[in-house]
């Protein structure tokens, strides 16, 4: 089923109020949440747009019906390529983060890990999860992912923390389900999601088995409290405001205060030895999602820089052209890493197709490291106006308009109203609360940079590179590189074929 944005909002606004903003308990229709809800709307709109059929939609592997791609469990490289494309096109439409990839990455991780736990331990988590997903597909549910625990003292494991609520954990096991408590934080989208997937955030030891818990609950479930921080642009959401200003985001501290989770929604409980696996499955899938999202953010920063250069009448200057090419390098290398991750991915025992970890991590690491540099290029080309521009009302007030209309024009080919729109946009992109959000999300979203290093060091074979160097240095007589070059693209799977006859873009 594909819901309309009106159906999504109707369901959302009926949810129980469990959100706090600035000390107030608010409903989901609070005006500070609307910029994020506007982003969600587009995820339903794009899926119903015939131009994006097969990109924004997919055929459910569970019900066989057409569903929103955000709810789809990827079955082949083609699915991963289409996800990447969907994220880039969505990011360009809303001016950045589309918020829904975390839910997508969580369902991939859960599908794979529940199967692997069952294979190792004889449990029945996978079938439970598939049963749950049937309803998810039939109702076109919008899910988020709460993985990051508040974590307390970073050098202590969950069971060593003086405050056990630093990590979400099981406090009671009942016949019909479990009771959980603890605090997750920095959770995007939960304030306007239908459902929340909860996963462990790190590798666990036997003592931590109470913390090895994964489940799904409605975002307004009894005992769940959301303490929410909305972010939006400087400009108001007025009819004449730019489309970009309609969008924003909210992140929440999620408190689980003795929350009952029925068995059919519990997908891991006590299997501490799968803590690392499920945490990395989510993180690696999320890093592949970045290969669609970050190129979209680069596209926006590149376009804004080019527009600022035009408004300054320096668009043909050599150093400007050179700086613009840096955006092209960042965006397209990240996108290419995502394509490689899809093409060299692997079919897991669950049937879910998973991106190649090395390519997903190197792409994500590069874009994380470059994010401040890209903002710096915009700042260099735009000048200081992003933080010194008078308020918009001064451009319309009779006493000041006559001065400001002259001051705002730098390129004589651009009239004052267009020049003002450009500089307000530059301010919103480069010097608003959203700019800071994108910079920090670029570094930490999907895991801090050190996590990509750890993921690479788990899988990348440095020893074989050393053996290559030993051969070239004449220390060893031979070097067998068959293992290094054994990686084959998964052409045997439907990489480019489109069995359902879905339209390709």
What does the binding site for ligand FAD look like in residue numbers (CB under 6 A)?
102, 145-148, 151, 154-155, 186-188, 251, 437, 440-441, 444-445, 447-448, 450
Of 151 and 276, CB closest to ligand FAD = 151
Alpha helices, DSSP H only, in 243-312?
Answer: 275-311
b/e per residue 150-159 (b: at least 16 CB within 10 A): bbbeeeeebb
Of 60 and 186, CB closest to ligand FAD = 186
Instruction: Report in angstroms how near the CB of residue 190 gets to ligand FAD at its nearest.
Output: 7
Place of tokens 């651009």: 414
Helix or strand (DSSP H, E) at 252: strand 249-262
Of 155 and 473, CB closest to ligand FAD = 155
Closest CA to 46 of 74, 103, 10, 8: 8
Q: Cα 214 vs. chain centroid, distance in angstroms?
A: 19
Of 179 and 253, CB closest to ligand FAD = 253
Concatenate the DSSP letters of all residues of 172-203 into one string. Answer: EE-SSEEEEEEEEEEEESGGG-SEEEE---S-
Of 55 and 431, CB closest to ligand FAD = 431
Closest CA to 33 of 256, 246, 293, 255: 246
Instruction: Report in angstroms how near the CB of residue 99 gets to ligand FAD at its nearest.
Output: 8
Quote the Cα angle for 303-305-307, to 5°.
70
423, 391 contact by CB (below 8 A): no
Q: Which residues lie closer than 8 Å to 77 by C-beta, 6 or more apart? A: 342, 343, 345, 353, 489, 490, 493, 494, 495
Of 225 and 410, CB closest to ligand FAD = 225
60, 1 contact by CB (below 8 A): no
Of 77 and 158, CB closest to ligand FAD = 158
Of 152 and 489, CB closest to ligand FAD = 152
Instruction: Report in angstroms how near the CB of residue 147 gets to ligand FAD at its nearest.
Output: 3
Of 81 and 113, CB closest to ligand FAD = 113
Q: Is 240 helix (H, G, I), strand (E, B) or coil?
A: coil
Spell out the long-range contacts of 37-41 with Cβ–Cβ below 8 A and sequence spacing 24 or more.
37/9, 37/12, 37/192, 38/94, 38/246, 38/247, 38/248, 39/94, 39/97, 39/98, 39/99, 39/247, 39/248, 39/249, 40/5, 40/8, 40/99, 40/100, 40/142, 40/189, 40/192, 41/5, 41/8, 41/9
Instruction: Report in angstroms how near the CB of residue 260 gets to ligand FAD at its nearest.
Output: 22
Q: Which residues pair with 353 in a beta bridge?
A: 347
Instruction: Report in angstroms how near the CB of residue 449 gets to ligand FAD at its nearest.
Output: 7
Of 188 and 285, CB closest to ligand FAD = 188
Could you tell me the sign of the dihedral formed by the alpha carbons of 257, 261, 267, 273, in that order?
Answer: positive
Of 221 and 293, CB closest to ligand FAD = 293
Alpha helices, DSSP H only, in 447-492?
Answer: 449-459, 462-472
Q: Cα 196 vs. chain centroid, distance in angstroms?
A: 14
Instruction: Report in angstroms how near the CB of residue 499 gets to ligand FAD at its nearest.
Output: 33
Instruction: Report in angstroms how near the CB of residue 154 gets to ligand FAD at its nearest.
Output: 4
């Amino acid at each position: 089923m594909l819901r309309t944005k009106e159906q999504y909002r109707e369901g959302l606004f009926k949810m129980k109020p469990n959100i706090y903003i600035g000390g107030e308990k608010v409903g989901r229709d609070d005006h500070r949440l609307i910029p994020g809800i506007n982003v969600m709307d587009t995820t339903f709109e794009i899926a119903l747009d015939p131009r994006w059929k097969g990109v924004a939609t997919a055929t459910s592997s569970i019900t066989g019906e057409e569903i929103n791609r955000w709810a789809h469990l990827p079955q082949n490289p083609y699915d991963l390529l289409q996800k990447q494309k969907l994220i880039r096109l969505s990011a360009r439409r809303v001016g950045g983060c589309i918020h829904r990839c975390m839910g997508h990455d969580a369902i991939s991780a859960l599908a794979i890990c529940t199967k692997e736990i069952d294979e190792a331990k004889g449990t029945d988590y996978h079938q439970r999860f598939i049963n749950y997903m049937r309803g998810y597909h039939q109702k076109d549910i919008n899910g988020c992912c709460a993985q990051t625990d508040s974590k307390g003292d970073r050098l202590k494991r969950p069971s060593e923390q003086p405050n056990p609520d630093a990590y979400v954990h099981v406090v009671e096991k009942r016949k019909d389900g479990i009771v959980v408590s603890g605090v997750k934080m920095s959770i995007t989208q939960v304030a306007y999601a239908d459902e929340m997937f909860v996963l462990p955030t790190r590798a666990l030891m036997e003592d931590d088995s109470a913390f090895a818990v994964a489940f799904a609950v409605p975002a307004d479930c009894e005992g769940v409290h959301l303490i929410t921080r909305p972010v939006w642009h400087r400009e108001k959401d007025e009819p004449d405001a730019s489309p970009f200003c309609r969008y924003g985001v909210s992140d929440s501290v999620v408190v689980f205060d003795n929350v009952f989770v029925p068995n059919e929604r519990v997908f891991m409980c006590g299997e501490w030895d799968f803590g690392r696996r499920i945490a990395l499955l989510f993180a690696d899938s999320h890093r592949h999602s970045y290969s669609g999202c970050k190129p979209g953010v680069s596209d926006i920063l590149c376009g804004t820089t080019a527009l600022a250069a035009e408004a300054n009448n320096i668009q043909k200057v050599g150093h400007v052209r050179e700086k613009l090419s840096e955006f092209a390098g960042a965006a397209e290398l990240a996108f290419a890493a995502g394509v490689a991750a899809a093409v060299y991915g692997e079919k897991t025992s669950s049937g879910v197709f998973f991106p190649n970890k090395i390519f997903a991590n190197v792409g994500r690491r590069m874009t994380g490291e470059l994010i401040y540099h890209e903002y710096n290029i915009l700042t260099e080309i735009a000048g200081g106006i992003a933080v010194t521009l008078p308020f918009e009302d001064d451009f319309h007030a009779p006493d000041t308009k006559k001065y400001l209309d002259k001051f705002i024009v730098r390129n004589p080919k651009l009239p004052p109203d267009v020049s003002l729109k450009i500089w307000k946009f530059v301010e919103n992109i480069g010097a608003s609360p959203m700019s800071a959000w994108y910079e920090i999300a670029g570094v930490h979203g999907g895991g801090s940079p050190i996590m990509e290093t750890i993921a690479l060091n788990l899988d990348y074979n440095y020893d074989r590179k050393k053996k290559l160097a030993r051969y070239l240095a004449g220390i060893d007589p031979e070097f067998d590189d068959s293992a290094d070059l054994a990686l084959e693209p998964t052409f045997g799977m439907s990489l480019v074929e489109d069995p359902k006859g879905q339209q390709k873009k």
